[in-house]
Amino acid sequence: SSTDTEGVTPELEKAGLLNKTKIAEGGRKLRKNWNPSWVVLVGNSLVFFKDPKSQNPDSWKPGNSRPESSVDLRGSQLQWANDLSSRKNVFKLRTVTGNEFLLQSETELLIREWYRTIQNVIDRLDKE
Ligand code: I3S
């Protein structure tokens, strides 16, 4: 918005509702717990919100809403992971710190767009 100081607030790339479960923490396997999550891709981070009130594109802005967690995409890896779930349209995101998440949508086009957009950010960071 016009009140942002230029260069301080990173660019919002994408936001939307996906199903999410964390399956590993620091390389240690976790029990799955699927939940809907409002996912926001901003700058170099993927930010997760669970509060339904957070489900609008402004929620990522500093001070507007408290994220459940956030992931630094630098050095992260994406792969399709239909072998890791009975659900369709699933991919796995693995961070450099060994945290692993599955993200899923009932809508194939939507999950493909998320995959492509996140991969583009990872590729851009790899080149820096
Ligand atoms: O990969 P898994 O272990 O078959 O994943 C399923 C289980 O985690 C299940 O929970 P409990 O077995 O802890 O009750 C979940 O409810 C399922 O959603 C998991 O499988 P899917 O295929 O939905 O990712």
- CB proximity list for 128: less than 8 A, separation 6 or greater: none
Q: How far is 22 from 53, CA to CA, in rounded Å? A: 22
pLDDT over threshold 90, residue 119: yes
Q: What are phi and psi of 120, to 5 degrees?
A: -60, -40
Q: Which atom of ligand 1 is nearest to the CA of 34?
A: 18
> What is the C-alpha radius of gyration for the chain, rounded to an integer number of angstroms?
14
Ligand 1 pocket mutation pick from 32, 34, 105 by most atoms within 8 angstroms of CB: 32
Q: How far is the CA of 32 from the centre of ligand 1 (A)?
A: 6
Band of the pLDDT at 101, cuts 50, 70, 90?
Answer: very high
Q: How far is the CA of 3 from the centre of ligand 1 (A)?
A: 45
More confident residue, 46 or 10: 46
Other residues' Cβ atoms within 10 Å of the Cβ of residue 115: 17
- For ligand 1, residues with CB inside 6 Å are 31-32, 34, 85-87
User: Considering only CA atoms, which residue is closest to atom 6 of ligand 1?
Assistant: 32
Residue 125: per-residue pLDDT: 94
Residue 57: per-residue pLDDT: 64
Strand ranges, E, within 1-128: 12-25, 28-29, 35-42, 45-49, 69-72, 77-80, 90-94, 100-104
* Cα atoms found within 13 Å of the Cα of residue 53, Cβ hemisphere only: 3
Q: pTM of the prediction?
A: 0.87
Band of the pLDDT at 66, cuts 50, 70, 90?
Answer: confident
